[in-house]
Amino acid sequence: MITKKSNTKRDGFSGKFGIIAAAAGSAVGLGNIWKFPYEAGANGGSAFIIVYILFVVLIGLPVMLSEFIIGRNAQKNVFGAFRAIKPNQKVWGLVGMLGVFVAFIILAFYGTVAGWTVEYLYQSLANNLTGHSAEEYTSMFDEFIKNPYRPVIWQIFFMILTGLIVLVGVKNGIEKSAKIMMPLLLVLLIGLGIKALTLDGAYKGLEFLFYPDFSHFTYKSVLEALGQSFFSLSLGMGTLITYASYVAKDDNIVKTSFIVAGADTFIAILAGIVIFPAVFAFGISPGAGPGLVFVTLPNVFAQIQGGEFFAIAFFLSLTVAALTSSISLLEVIVAYFKEELKIERKFSTIIAVVVISILGVFCTLSFGPLKDFTIFGHTIFDAADFLASNIILPIGGFSIAIFVGWFMDTKEIKAEISSDNMYKIKIYGVYRFLIKYIVPFAILLVFLSSIGII
Ligand code: TRP
């Protein structure tokens, strides 16, 4: 059963733009707009960004292409895909299981921040987001995340929404929402970027972003940059394996990888160009942490004519960007439940949403009532993020690289990369070298250096 590669009755994307929109929809999300700026801010700005881009090119891109290769070749969920390609090496199934497991963890803390985003959408609809001072925005945010009910309610609301879209299935649910809202988000970011650059002190923000300063950059920052590159590109846990299983055999997956990684990186940097000039202009600390975007942006909206509407449009499109990412995570779990455990789609979705919501409540409350409950010095939220992004995703990426680089049949890889010789792929040699040697070695090196062995 497991090795059968038939594609009957599987939902699929409707064409070239479908997969690009869906994969970019998965990649572009809170990772770009919420997490990238605050990670960059806490790790020295430009230095972090340089290392981050290096990781995207040398590690992220090859791993992304590998996920596309595995997924489209096997046409299966993440667990089934490894087993379909190497039926005699059952151990690879563990990598798939790890992917399904970490999807639960990521969704738990992702829902927390997505919930904050929905609250800000609500506040901007209620016209509460303009006309305050920078201090007021900071205390507004601090009060809100401490509240034992409100953030929890929004988080569960967001998870239910995610579940509803996944229920509708790949083509209708995932593709359509991505195609409409992603371009809107891009336009809004560019608009905000232009505004941010005109603020007093914008120059300081740009300097922070682009003038290399390695004084706040540590070994830990290297691990953060690696984790962030996996997180932002949706790599290391089979999201793109799962999505690629719905991709037609004639799609150029090399080109798709470049477009998706390029768009994702562009949007992260654009978010930085929006945030940091404002951070310096309004006297906010760049290392403010997870609240950075939420305390900074309202200041910018408050300075724009018609900022109320801008705020609504922005938080709406950010909510949708978060949704197109969360559905890609949930789809990993649901595809696994459906194909391996034979639980029907509807029931799989409900089980997953319930479990994730329960886990998520702990993450959300770790900013309030559970603030003092720590694991190795991390709050529950931070621990979940750290474990998932900085440990499990890189381990997943490492395993994927070893699988494709050392175990998968090169003939199959070549056939997949070129879509059975439909496309001339010039980068095969470079890709092969990177995935076989550089990616595993670099990930290992970052791990060892961050725990102080090197
Ligand atoms: N990349 C998304 C973001 O930046 C989040 C995400 C979606 C993700 N799917 C993933 C992260 C898979 C890690 C793995 O917001």
Strand partners, 379: 374
Over its C-alpha atoms, the chain yields an Rg (Å, rounded) of 21
pLDDT at 224: 95
| Ranges of H-type helices in 126-169 | 134-146, 150-168
Q: Which two tokens stand for residue 272?
A: 């930085």
DSSP 366: T
For residue 232, the number of C-alpha atoms closer than 13 Å in the C-beta half-sphere is 32
Give the Å distance between the CA of 26 and the centre of ligand 1. 6
Atom of ligand 1 nearest to the CA of 30: 15
pLDDT at 22: 85
pLDDT at 3: 38
pLDDT tier at 248, thresholds 50, 70, 90: confident
Task: Compute CA distances 300 → 192, 198, 266, 274, whole Å.
Answer: 8, 11, 21, 9
Report the Cα 37 to chain-centroid distance in Å.
Answer: 14
Contact 291, 274 (CB under 8 A): no
Q: What's the rounded Cα separation, in Å, for the pair 105 and 363?
A: 10
Pocket test for ligand 1, best of 106, 158, 182, 235 (most atoms within 8 A of CB): 106
Q: What's the rounded Cα separation, in Å, for the pair 408 and 417?
A: 13
pLDDT at 180: 76
pLDDT tier at 416, thresholds 50, 70, 90: very high
Atom of ligand 1 nearest to the CA of 31: 4
Q: What's the rounded Cα separation, in Å, for the pair 389 and 391?
A: 6
Question: Which are the contacts of 343, defined by CB distance < 8 A and separation ≥ 6?
Answer: 337, 351
Using the predicted structure, report yes or no on whether residue 181 has a pLDDT greater than 80: no
Q: What's the rounded Cα separation, in Å, for the pair 308 and 329?
A: 32
pLDDT tier at 171, thresholds 50, 70, 90: low
pLDDT at 15: 64
Determine the average pLDDT of the residues in 151-157: 98
pLDDT at 167: 87
pLDDT at 170: 61
Q: What's the rounded Cα separation, in Å, for the pair 176 and 166?
A: 12
pLDDT at 10: 66
Position of tokens 């560019």? 190
Using the predicted structure, report yes or no on whether residue 7 has a pLDDT greater than 70: no
Give the Å distance between the CA of 17 and the centre of ligand 1. 20
Q: Which two tokens stand for residue 170?
A: 């790949």
More confident site: 15 or 1: 15
Shortest-distance Cα residue to atom 6 of ligand 1: 234
pLDDT tier at 401, thresholds 50, 70, 90: very high
Atom of ligand 1 nearest to the CA of 326: 7
Which runs of E-coded beta strand occur in 359-428? 374-375, 378-379
Q: Which two tokens stand for residue 322?
A: 């978060």
* pLDDT tens profile 29-81: 999 999 999 999 999 899 999 999 999 999 999 999 999 999 999 999 999 99
**Is 397 strand, coil or helix?**
helix
Q: What's the rounded Cα separation, in Å, for the pair 374 and 367?
A: 11
pLDDT at 445: 94
Of these ranges, 17-21, 130-134, 217-221, 290-294, the one predicted with the greatest mean pLDDT is 290-294
Using the predicted structure, report yes or no on whether residue 5 has a pLDDT greater than 50: no
Q: Which residues line ligand 1 (CB under 6 A)?
A: 26-27, 29-32, 106, 231-232, 234, 237, 239, 325, 328-329, 393
Vertex 220: Cα angle to 216 and 226 (nearest 5): 110
* pLDDT tens profile 8-36: 456 677 666 678 888 999 999 999 999 99
Report the candidate in 235, 233, 231 with the shortest Cα–Cα distance to residue 223: 231
Report the candidate in 27, 34, 30, 28 with the shortest Cα–Cα distance to residue 289: 34
Determine the average pLDDT of the residues in 280-304: 92
Report the candidate in 288, 27, 306 with the shortest Cα–Cα distance to residue 314: 306
Contact 208, 284 (CB under 8 A): no
Give the Å distance between the CA of 363 and the centre of ligand 1. 17
pLDDT at 305: 87
Using the predicted structure, report yes or no on whether residue 212 has a pLDDT greater than 90: no
Determine the average pLDDT of the residues in 137-152: 96
pLDDT at 370: 96
Determine the average pLDDT of the residues in 151-166: 96
Using the predicted structure, report yes or no on whether residue 206 has a pLDDT greater than 80: yes
Pocket test for ligand 1, best of 107, 182, 325 (most atoms within 8 A of CB): 325
pLDDT at 452: 72
Pocket test for ligand 1, best of 270, 329, 334 (most atoms within 8 A of CB): 329
Contact 329, 31 (CB under 8 A): no
pLDDT at 250: 86
Report the candidate in 209, 263, 270 with the shortest Cα–Cα distance to residue 33: 270
Report the candidate in 38, 37, 45 with the shortest Cα–Cα distance to residue 209: 45
> Among 236-240, 434-438, 448-452, where is mean pLDDT lowest?
448-452
Query: Residue 321 carries which side chain, given as an amino acid letter?
Result: A
* φ/ψ of residue 170, rounded to 5: -60, -55
Contact 379, 369 (CB under 8 A): no
pLDDT at 43: 92
DSSP 129: S
